[in-house]
Every structure is written in structure tokens, then in C-alpha cells.
Amino acid sequence: MSSFGKLHNRYGDSMSSWHNVIDNILNRFLRIYEIQDEGYAFTSVEKLLSAIDPLMFNLTQMTTKEYLLKKDLPPVFVNELAAGIIKIAYGQSPDVNAFVGTMSLAGAKAGLWSVRGGNQQVPQMLINKCKANLILRKVVKIILKPKIGRAHV
């Protein structure tokens, strides 16, 4: 029997169910790019996540285990497969908040890529290609200027 067959025997339809759960979250999270393009700024992570979609902040208020069980994924899936993925990604258990846990599960989906030597090279190469002058400094104070963007305080 193939590995996929063994997974299906053990976890049944939860293999496709978790993909749907994660796809739903990722599709909602993509709203972050619209918010950035519109020039919004936020004074807290809570306000940013809530602006993306109320579900994003709500995910920080429950564990991954609670969320996945609420989505009718079987305990055997949550305690074995999801737990293993989260442990590999973040060294955590399914008791980590559901925002973090679902993002780590997204990392186990097919179609992802990585760069030999580390993904951090992508922004560095972009900076080099556009010949930008990156100045790394410590942020001491942020002043919101509504004429530049829209502040949400």
C-alpha cells in the first residue's frame, strides 16, 4: 500500500478537510496586501489582525487543537499529524494559539518552495537588484501621519 493510502486509512477524509480549513484561513489572510496597498497603519497586532478578518484575531484566542476540533477534524488527526507538523515547524504542540498553528500547517501544504541557503535571501536579492540603500536602525518612536496613510489607533 502506498504512503498516501496509509495516510488515508489512518486519517480518512480529514486529509482533505484540513486542506480546506487552511485554504480558507490563507485566503482571508491575503487581505493583508489590500490593507497595505491602501496605506493603513495599526497601533497593535490585535487591530491589524481584526482588520484583515475578525477570524485572524479570534485564532489567537484559542489553541490550534481547539480550533481544529471545532472544525470537526478528528482527535487522531490533531494529536498525530497536526501535532507533528507544528512540532517540526515551531517546536510547539497543538496547544499553541490557532493563528500560529494554522500557519505552520499551511507550511505543510504542497506547492511551497524554498531557496537553497535560506529564504531570507529573497528580500536581500530584491534590495540588491533595485540598488536600494537599506539603513538598519532601531525604531525609537512611530508617528502616524494620516495624510500619508490611514491610521487605526
Cell representation of residue 20: 480546506
What's the pLDDT at 112?
A: 66
d(CA 7, CA 35): 39
d(CA 145, CA 70): 41
What's the pLDDT at 93?
A: 94
Among 15, 23, 25, residue whose Cα is nearest residue 99: 25
What's the pLDDT at 147?
A: 54
Residues of the chain under the 50 pLDDT cut: none
Instruction: Output the pTM of the full model.
Output: 0.73
d(CA 46, CA 25): 16
What's the pLDDT at 122?
A: 81
CB 151 within 8 A of CB 51: no
